[in-house]
A and B are shown apart, each in its own frame.
Chain A
Amino acid sequence: MQKLSRLILASGLAACLPAAGADVPAARLLVKPLLCVTDHNVASCPMTFDIRWKSPAPVEYCLNDSALATPLRCWPKVDSGEHVQKRDVSEPFVYWLGPPGGTQRAAEVKIDVLRLDSADRRRERRTRHVWDVL
């Protein structure tokens, strides 16, 4: 039970707090949308991401994409920024904010991919019990 409590607490913290390191000022990163739904007829999602960040103090930050080695965009010493990115999404990835050339993250947001199709065909079977309405 203690482990379960720790797990729930840790999950909550991971979801709520910016991922700032000790010497990186925290920032708030907002990204929309957050979910791509794929299926047997939809291999990827063409998405336009609206990315905004805000920091309590002016900072020099870069916006990074976990799938790319170089930053998407860097800002001079400012306390907020906006960026729009069009991207075809087929795998989950993370947008993260951090100092130029650094590896520490001030904030990050995961873009999730939900796959409705399954390699296991049995997961597609639908039972017909009275309570099974979905």
Chain B
Amino acid sequence: MVERSFPFIMRATLKLLAAASWAAAALAHASDPDVMAAIAAPAPASNPAPLNLAAPEHSWHLGAAFGYGTRSNPLIQSDDIPVIVDVDISWYGKHWFFDNGDIGFTFTDGSRATTSLVARLNDDRVFFGKTSTRFVNFAYTGFGATGPLVTTSGAPIPEPVQVKPPDRDYAIELGVESLIDTDWGLVTLGAFHDVSGTHGGYELSTRFSRRWTLGRLSLAPTVGVSYKSANLNDYYWGVHKDEASFALPEYHADAGFNFEGGLVTNYYLTRNLRVALSVNYEQLADTIAASPLAEDDHVLAWFSGLAWSF
């Protein structure tokens, strides 16, 4: 439990640190007498002149969404992952940036494309955080009678058999990510490799998204495909030799493609508050879906609620 909670605690701590830094920066900004005067004083008594009332784009972005949603869990004997609060913390400097746990360094920023070196945590591990142990009975029924199943050597299978999804670790992945503006939308290309010695594999991905805005409503559909190497898939979705049992036979996952599509919808009530609705579907590679550890061949995530951006 502690082990499973640790990455979330670590991420939460990072976000809290970021939030504290943001608050300190805001406080320092508030101590500026000009800012205080502009906020507290009545409207200026000067004649109307061209005003720059546009809010500047801050380096920090802080947001939170409250509502309800889930991310389905394709792992056997696992619960779906509830999403009640979605905290969004990011910071963008000239080169460095922090985006909800991802840390990046931008080394090229052109008129059409931005390319960064990015460190991130692998997402597959998150499915292994809500597992439970179950006991499974193996029996056959025939000729009106029920009897124990036997192994290939003829020995009866002790019952019940304990079945528990194996533990998996988070992997730190380092890679290159390019964001490319096209006439049709934004293309994201990514190539990441494990640098933590966890799975030793890599992932290549591409995603296309486009946002349409109509009045206060914005719609942003996304499609994407990712190729995960055999090492990556096998680490998370393979049943390794020392984990294999009659209930969980040994399995080696190969490389494969995951496909995804999603839609993010926002209706802006005010500058800071919006109603948010999002849905995302990911079709897992056949080699993952065929794993004894997988009971679904897809991941479905959705969320609806109120989102606040500061």
Contacts and interface: CB of A to CB of B under 8 A. Distances in A.
B30 interface: yes
Contacts of B134: none
B177 to A, nearest CB: 7
Given A37-B268, A125-B188, A94 B86 contact: no
Interface string A8-27: 00110110000111000000
Interface in A74-129: 91-94, 96, 103-105, 108, 110, 112-116, 118-129
Given A41-B213, A92-B54, A134 B222 contact: no
Interface residues of A, number: 58
A121 B114 contact: yes
B223 interface: no
B213 A122 contact: no
Q: Chain B contact residues: over half helix, strand or loop, or mixed?
A: strand
A37 B215 contact: yes
Contacts of B53: 66, 91-94, 110
B264 A134 contact: yes
Contacts of B186: 121, 124
Contact of B268 (A19, A65, A114, A133): A114
Contacts of A115: 54
Q: Which of the listed residues B53, B83, B90 has the most CB atoms from chain A within 10 Å of its own CB?
A: B53
Contact of A39 (B39, B50, B86, B211): B211
A4 B65 contact: no
A40 B210 CA distance: 10
Contacts of A57: none
Contact of A38 (B213, B264, B301, B302): B213
A40 B55 CA distance: 17
B27 A3 contact: yes
A126 B209 contact: yes
A65 B50 CA distance: 10
A125 B181 CA distance: 11
A122 B106 contact: yes
A57 B25 CA distance: 45
A7 B38 CA distance: 11
Contact of A132 (B86, B104, B113): B86
A130 B36 contact: no
Interface magnitude class on chain B:
35 or more
A127 B276 contact: no
A45 B215 CA distance: 7
Contact of A6 (B36, B71, B87): B36
Interface string B284-310: 000000000000000001110001000
26 contacts: A6-B40, A10-B36, A19-B42, A37-B213, A37-B216, A39-B213, A91-B54, A93-B53, A104-B45, A105-B42, A114-B271, A119-B57, A121-B114, A121-B179, A122-B116, A123-B92, A125-B188, A126-B209, A127-B100, A127-B102, A128-B123, A129-B126, A130-B81, A130-B126, A133-B86, A133-B280
The 6 closest A-B pairs by CB, nearest first: A19-B43, A92-B53, A133-B303, A39-B213, A10-B40, A105-B43
Interface of B: 27, 30-31, 36, 39-40, 42-43, 45-48, 50-51, 53-55, 57, 61, 63, 65, 69, 71, 81, 83, 85-88, 90, 92, 97, 99-102, 104, 106, 109, 113-114, 116, 120-121, 123, 126, 177, 179, 181, 186, 188, 209, 211-216, 218, 222, 264, 266, 268, 270-271, 276, 278, 280, 301-303, 307
Interface of A: 3-4, 6-7, 10-11, 13-14, 19-21, 34-35, 37-42, 45, 64-69, 91-94, 96, 103-105, 108, 110, 112-116, 118-134
